[in-house]
Amino acid sequence: MQKYLLLYMMILMLGLYSCTEEVSDATALVTEEVLYTSGENVRLLGRLITNQSINVSDHGFYLSEDENFASPIIVSLGEKDGPGRFIGEANGLTNSKTYFAKAFMELGGETQFGNVIELETLSPKLGDFTPSFGQVGQEMVIVGQNFTEDTRVFFGENEANITGIDFESRIHLIIPNPSKMTVPLKVMVQDTMLEFETSFEYQIGTYEIISSFPEAVRLYGTAFYSIGNGLNIGLGTISKNSFYSKIQRFEIGSGTWDEVDFPGSPRAFAFATSNFLGGGTADLTPNPYDINRSFYRVKTNGFERLPDLNFDSRESIAFEYMGNLYVLGGKEGNPNAVRLYNASSGSWTSLPDSPIALSTEYAFFNYEDKLFVIDDEKKVWEYLIPSNSWNIVSNFPGSLGQGYGVGEVLGEKAYVGLYNRGTELWEFDLNSFKWKPKNDIPGTPSDVTVAHFSTGGYIYFMRMPDISIAGNYPMNLFKFDPNGF
């Protein structure tokens, strides 16, 4: 429409010029077109057409939501000398609104207007956001269209700090503190509230130091197990120089430590479960180690010595199933061995070998009738206990550090990580076999895990710096809440 009007005005002026001996004065002001529109900005093109020398004191555009321009937004471009095109831009408009625009000029103390055109600001739209899973303080980018300068972003009820908006289409922000694990992600553009169909999920998990080991020692190769409401940690070596012959018990309810009277000889790298303890090294000198074959049943009021093991065990994987004990591999003898101890008959049975060498250098955990082991290639092996069969079911996505990782189960989730000189912890869904990172444990990258337990809906880790880090450091006991934030 504007082009036809412009053509008409030009033809009229040419006609006036050709039909008179003296040049007639002819001036036209045209609102030509909308060059650009967004949610809050509009760029307009106008033209002053004249066949005479002209100087206007001001020119530009009027915009209004009202066709009568009762309360116009005035885009003033100042003086203009001579004819030609001009461009004006208006900011701070309301998205999704119809506006009317017309060019204006101030000439000889009189305001003259061009034709009126109609335009509509654009509506904001959401595209996607990354990451969809993250932690507090991490940067997020939201992609969409027609975001205004006053755009706000909410994670549930908590507002995010926006650090920048690029080209009205990319919002940069810092993920705020959570109100819960999964929250709706909302973008408010002026008075328009938009919400993504997909919620944002926080990477969570909190750690609290609840105690330190009762003695100023740094233990390695410990035996650890939980019984009742207590966490038992002990044996092993003191800084790999001498044996530690005690077992200390931490009572979760009272937060106190008591020494457990262990009747056996000192050892390091023994296996331990809630009901059994045995094996390990009888001296500190390797190549080869002297192995301690003594074997005990763990009771609430002490220990019962059982017949000695008929095999050597150092750093063997041990777990219980249906009241019986399974001892797998180790760094002595056959590393692929699978042995079953029948608690009722007191007898040992050799089961078919595993397809891989096994030791506590690999993180492991058992769930229902399965054992899971993460090998040094990050393959997750599933051992089906009733059928004595092995399968690879997943791959661990985290870092293996320097081995000796944690594996603990709460409900239908397993938690794997905290390898020596590592701070990562991952959640493994035991139904879908999908992995999800949890928050890193506080501390230094040189820390190692001395013991770990799962009980009462929480996981407990005892951590300290590696032996290569000189100094006096406590062994701290952490309480981990996988749903904490």
Assess whether pLDDT exceeds 50 at residue 432: yes
Contact 8, 25 (CB under 8 A): no
Please identify which residue in the block is written with the tokens 């293996």. Answer: 400
User: Phi and psi (nearest 5°) for 130?
Assistant: -140, 140
Q: What is the pLDDT of residues 347-393, one digit of tens each?
A: 999 999 999 999 999 999 999 999 999 999 999 999 999 999 999 99
Asked if 125-202 and 206-481 have one fold, the answer is no
Confidence of residue 471 (pLDDT cuts 50, 70, 90): confident
Label residue 254 exposed, middle or buried (CB < 10 Å: 0-12, 13-18, 19+): exposed
CA distance readout (Å), 113 to 11, 220, 431? 20, 88, 71
Class of the CATH-defined domain 206-481 = mainly beta
Does a cis peptide bond (omega within 30 degrees of 0) precede residue 288?
yes
Q: Which fold has domain 27-121?
A: Immunoglobulin-like (2.60.40)
Tens of pLDDT, residue by residue over 274-301, are 999 999 999 998 889 999 999 999 998 8
Tell me the C-alpha distance between 27 and 48, whole Å.
7
Quick one: pLDDT band at residue 25, thresholds 50, 70, 90?
A: low
Q: What would the pLDDT profile of 188-240 be if each residue is shown by its tens digit?
A: 999 999 999 999 999 999 999 999 999 999 999 999 999 989 999 999 999 99
**Of the candidates 325, 249, 326, 236, which has an alpha carbon nearest to the alpha carbon of residue 284?**
236
Using DSSP, state whether 434 is helix, strand or coil.
coil
> Is the separation of the CB atoms in 158 and 176 below 8 Å?
yes
Domain boundaries, the chain: 27-121, 125-202, 206-481
Look at residue 18 and tell me whether its pLDDT is greater than 70: no
As a whole number of angstroms, the distance between CA 485 and CA 479 comes to 13
* 3 state SS of 75: strand
Find, among 293, 289, 243, the residue nearest to 268 by Cα. Answer: 243
The pTM (predicted TM-score) of the whole model is 0.81
Q: Can you read off the two tokens belonging to residue 381?
A: 């092996």
CA distances, 146 to each of 34, 95, 125 (Å): 16, 8, 7
CB 396 within 8 A of CB 416: yes
The identity of residue 348, as a single letter, is W
Report the CATH architecture of 125-202. Answer: Sandwich (2.60)
Could you give phi then psi for residue 320, rounded to 5 degrees? Answer: -115, 145
Contact 379, 363 (CB under 8 A): no
Q: Report the run of H or E that residue 16 belongs to, with start and end.
A: helix 2-18
